[in-house]
Amino acid sequence: MQKRTDLALEQSEMLSALPEGVDCEETKKGDAVITKITVKDGLGAAALKKPIGVYLTLEVPPFTDSLNDEELISTLTENLAELIPKKGSALIVGLGNREITPDALGPKAAAGILATRQIGPELQRIAGIEGIRSVSVLAPGVLGQTGIEVFNLLHALVDEINPCFLIVIDALASRYLKRLGCTVQMCDSGIEPGAGVGNARKEISRKTLGVPVIAIGVPTVVDAATLVTDLTGGSGKIAEPDGRQMIVTPREVDLLISRAAALIADCINRALHPEIPPELIKELLS
């Protein structure tokens, strides 16, 4: 059976050797282990089942154990800043369903992003934030709530407001319980929402939208059939009663989502506005 995961790191771990066209580099900074996987060409993309691009996986202490860890925030911000353009307007998109806790990461993180597109030069001067980057924020919900595919909304919005790039935030699926709530993946290849739990929607990427798409997410669920297969070595069918797909999520998922969303929002704000003190960003959001 297919072992489902959204993480490029886990895709590479399932291979007996690193394929041609894929580079992997691991570093450590403080409590974070950072794995950089670069898919360089079509050969590597086919072997890893991931589009060409750079994938940064940061394995960190559990979000449920700590908050406002300045070293961790700094590490995440630095790695995100490597992927995003240095200049130009941004559209931040929080994917997911706010009403379903394991899927609420995107909307909750979007609520903590500083939107600046509406702030004119005079107001920037008064607030002491002259020359800031133009940022728009959207939490579009899901097809079941709106009747509209998220891709279609974003396609229309990109045509209308013409951002230089997108940052898309979404909850991810991991293959292993050990990576839930203590892993962050960032990539510059966009995202295929729902792929890790077998409910893939249309790809959101530079190829489909015409502008760079940086994706950032935290694994919050494990596909139950994948988990059973890994634990027992047998078939995962017993985890799918009557053919229904099941997922597993931590008991403390509410706290996980709340803290991960706050952390990601903080890192995005800092990466987009490095010239604004974090304390001032918090004041502007309040």
Give the pLDDT of residue 155. 95
| Phi/psi of residue 106, nearest 5 degrees | -60, -55
Give the pLDDT of residue 242. 61
> By percentage, how much of the chain surpasses pLDDT 90?
65
Q: What is the three-class DSSP state of 37? A: strand
Domain count, the chain: 1
- Say what the pTM is: 0.90
> Could you tell me if residue 77 is inside a domain?
yes
Return the structure tokens found at 13: 């771990």
CA distance 232 to 218: 26
> Could you tell me if residue 1 is inside a domain?
no
DSSP string over 99-137: TSGGG-HHHHHHTTS---TT--HHHHHHHT-TTPPPEEE
| Phi/psi of residue 191, nearest 5 degrees | -155, 150
Return the structure tokens found at 222: 């494990």
pLDDT at position 152 over 90: yes
Give the pLDDT of residue 234. 61
Q: What is the pLDDT of residues 229-261, one digit of tens each?
A: 777 766 656 656 665 678 889 899 999 999 999
Q: What is the pLDDT of residues 12-35, one digit of tens each?
A: 998 989 999 999 999 999 889 999
CA distance 53 to 39: 5
Q: What is the pLDDT of residues 71-112, one digit of tens each?
A: 889 999 999 999 999 999 999 999 999 999 999 999 999 999
CA atoms within 13 A on the CB side of 227: 20
> Could you tell me if residue 2 is inside a domain?
no
56 has which bridge partners? 36, 186
> Could you tell me if residue 258 is inside a domain?
yes
Other beta carbons within 10 angstroms of residue 224's beta carbon come to 19
CA distances from 227 to 131, 156, 179, 223 (A): 49, 38, 12, 6
pLDDT at position 10 over 90: yes
CA distance 24 to 6: 17
> Could you tell me if residue 164 is inside a domain?
yes
Give the pLDDT of residue 150. 93
**Most confident among 63-72, 183-192, 195-204 (mean pLDDT):** 183-192
> Could you tell me if residue 3 is inside a domain?
no
Taking the alpha carbons of 266, 271, 272, 278 in that order, is the dihedral positive or negative? positive
> By percentage, how much of the chain surpasses pLDDT 70?
92
CA distance 71 to 62: 14
Give the pLDDT of residue 119. 83
Task: Please say whether the beta carbons of 21 and 49 come within 8 A.
Answer: no
The set of residues, in sequence order, having a beta carbon less than 8 Å from that of 50 and lying 6+ positions away, is: 8, 11, 39, 189
Give the pLDDT of residue 67. 61
> Could you tell me if residue 78 is inside a domain?
yes
pLDDT at position 40 over 80: yes
189 has which bridge partners? none
pLDDT at position 194 over 70: no
191 has which bridge partners? 204
Give the pLDDT of residue 283. 87
Return the structure tokens found at 249: 């999520």
Average pLDDT of the segment spanning 40-68: 90
- Residue 109 lies in domain: 8-285
> Could you tell me if residue 56 is inside a domain?
yes
Report the CATH number that the domain containing residue 130 is assigned in CATH. Answer: 3.40.50.1450
184 has which bridge partners? 58
